[in-house]
Amino acid sequence: MRWVLFPLALLVGGALVAIALIGILAILAYPRLPSLDSLTDYRPKIPLRIFTADGYLIGEFGEERRSVVPIGEVPEVLKHAILAAEDERFYQHSGVDSLGIVRAAYSNLISGGKRQGASTITMQVARNFFLSREKTLTRKLYEALLSFKIESSFSKDEILGFYLNQIYLGQRAYGFAAASQIYFGKPLSEITLAEATMLAGLPKAPSIYNPVANPKRARARQMYVLRRMKDLAYITPEEMEAAKAETLSIKHDINDFGVHAEYVAEMARQIVYERFQDEAYAMGLRVFTTIRKDDQDAAYKAVQRGVMDYDQRHGYRGAEAYVDLKGIDTTQEDELEERLQDFDVSGDMEPALVLDADPKQVTAVLHGGEMVTLRGKSLRSAARMLDRRAPANRRIRPGAIIRVTQDAKSKGWQITQLPEAEAALVAVNPEDGEIRALVGGVDFNRNKFNHITQAWRQPGSSFKPFIFSAALEKTYSPASVLLDEPVAVEADETGSQVWEPRNYDGKYDGPITLRTALAKSKNMASIRLLQSIGPRYAQDYITRFGFDAEKHPPYLTMALGAGMVTAWQQVAAYSVFANGGYRVEPYLIKQITDRNGEVLATTQPVKAGDENLRVIDARNAYIMDSMLKDVVRRGTGMRAMALGRSDIAGKTGTTNDYVDAWFCGYSPDLVTVTWIGFDQPRRLGDGETGGSAALPIWLDYVQFALEKIPERLPVRPEGLAEISSVDPLTLQELHEFIYQEYVPIIEEEQRVQLNPFFGNSITP
């Protein structure tokens, strides 16, 4: 018995001494524990969030991606998943789980090393809020003591709430609400059992069980959580099997919020930063923009379709890049995934690594290991690049990186390519300047340059309406006659060299009215009109619409839109014609609130109708609106007649050598500007005009945006009379009269400017 009792007594004595020492240390350490103020007044860093006007999240900015959710709003399925994965006895222990410690110690003893921990949810809260992650006995003691202190100060639900909102879960996500948005693109209230168990598996090791970086390990961890939930009777075996069979849609881009409004979010961020500086990223500001989800979705799709249609018209360019497949096992998913990691998804275009290729069939692998086979119609556009005679640096062969997209109806894969051209769209309410939709480019992740606000481009013929409006102020009318014949302009008038412009179609109609000149976008007539009213007068006049005078030198080239504008300026300028002559400033932010919902700032726009905003006469605006409607009815914008509306007006714009294409169109309730071109200006291609390249994008969006808005025609202002005939002279007689009487004078003296009218006389 002595040999038994002595070791037992030694063991018990040692344990008592250890307990006594721990007790003494606890008594000494407890008063020195940190205050729990950070929990009683829990104010975590909450990022700046940007929303649509109807409440959809479109952007989030801050070091920590976090959403604070009251414990009462957390789904039960997630609570149960977390308890099963992290602390099944959470509601029974007092901060430190003694049974869990014994179980972990036994497991570690029989496994021959430290394999299992016994950290409770309360201990994790103590560690995350107050302590470092160093693995020392002192830190463990403080962690245990803090856990007791926390348990004595807060309810179990409050502690679980701290944990749910504070824990780091990978991808810069802090808290389960943020993780749900980042990984699944949905609020916490909408997650399924399968999604909840995937999230609940993250706290143990976010980097290891991250479903974006390590889908296989994340899946294994998810299965473990499901088994634990079944064992604890939180779910039935049938529910477990259904969750196991569910296919999860994981977001690979943490900035994908379900609404493609990245340019809007970035613009809003810059505006808010100017006011709040760095504090904006942690104080929980909520910014509500003016855009609406449905409008923005329609605008994004219109830009995508327009650019892809343009791209397809100009043929398939070949493989995007190549990777070396030598020495790798193409049956190993990890090795193939490594070769694809530098190529991101763009929109619905996925990168694919070609494993085998011939003119009849291409086999490729996608992110995640999915194999796709392309044949028949799927390869039609790329047939030339499958030929062995294709350029070596473009041919589709094993190792090539190509792009594929899945057909929404057939679910079959089609070969495609990243477009090189850029496009942009902005839509505004002309009554108050509220931005309804804004797409600054094809793909924000590839190109963050905002083509609405940052791109200074030549407007081409879309600038002519402002010259014509200036002419109306100089006593011209829509029936005034201009000469549409070739013209040569000397160097002193152009500011550079002799200029011999031409009409787009190379045809000349002789004397035509202003209305026809604008509808058919006649260059020669526009130049003569500017020559008549004077370039310097026009340069000053266009500033009424918000254009910069210095960007439009006072030369005759201004008549053809040789200056520089932004799409933001264009949409504001065309709003003047749409609203009856008032200049309203486009605005993007409707309201800013703090983390508690208190309003910090609200935009109060000044609306059209306020005479302080008037920049052109109401009669001028009405006449210009009438003339711009003719552009749509019988001119270069006739494609817009597909809307079947009588209140549509607008103007196409094509710059020299087809470098930029525009369409600026409107109804009384919506002004929309679209543009397409290349960042490094170059030819879009023969025939790629504003009417053929930019107007289809405009039409695609506007037919959705105006679907529920009834037609509305402007009221004719006082001081205007409509007449059908103003002079007995025919155009041919007038043409002959001009050439016989006035052209010789101009040729001899070079100082007479014609200002011809249908009227009783023609005045030099």
**Residues recognised as catalytic:** 86, 461
Are 615 and 544 contacting, i.e. CB atoms less than 8 angstroms apart? yes
Are 668 and 578 contacting, i.e. CB atoms less than 8 angstroms apart? yes
Look at residue 369 and give its three-state secondary structure. helix
Instruction: Count the neighbouring beta carbons within 10 Å of the beta carbon of residue 35.
Output: 9
C-alpha dist (Å) from residue 526 to 176, 460, 558, 560, 562: 62, 12, 10, 7, 13
C-alpha dist (Å) from residue 309 to 65, 412, 417, 419, 705: 37, 19, 12, 10, 21
605 Rama sector, left if φ>0, alpha if ψ -120 to 50, beta otherwise: beta
Question: Taking Cα atoms as reference points, which of 211, 277, 224 lies closest to residue 250?
Answer: 211
Element (H, E) at 3: helix 2-29
- CA R_g for the chain: 35
Are 501 and 523 contacting, i.e. CB atoms less than 8 angstroms apart? yes
Instruction: Count the neighbouring beta carbons within 10 Å of the beta carbon of residue 43.
Output: 11
DSSP assignment of 412-432 equals -EEEE---S-EEEEEEE-TTT
- How far is the C-alpha of 405 from the C-alpha of 397, rounded, in Å? 19
- How far is the C-alpha of 199 from the C-alpha of 163, rounded, in Å? 13
Are 448 and 266 contacting, i.e. CB atoms less than 8 angstroms apart? yes
C-alpha dist (Å) from residue 181 to 59, 133, 226, 593: 11, 27, 21, 21
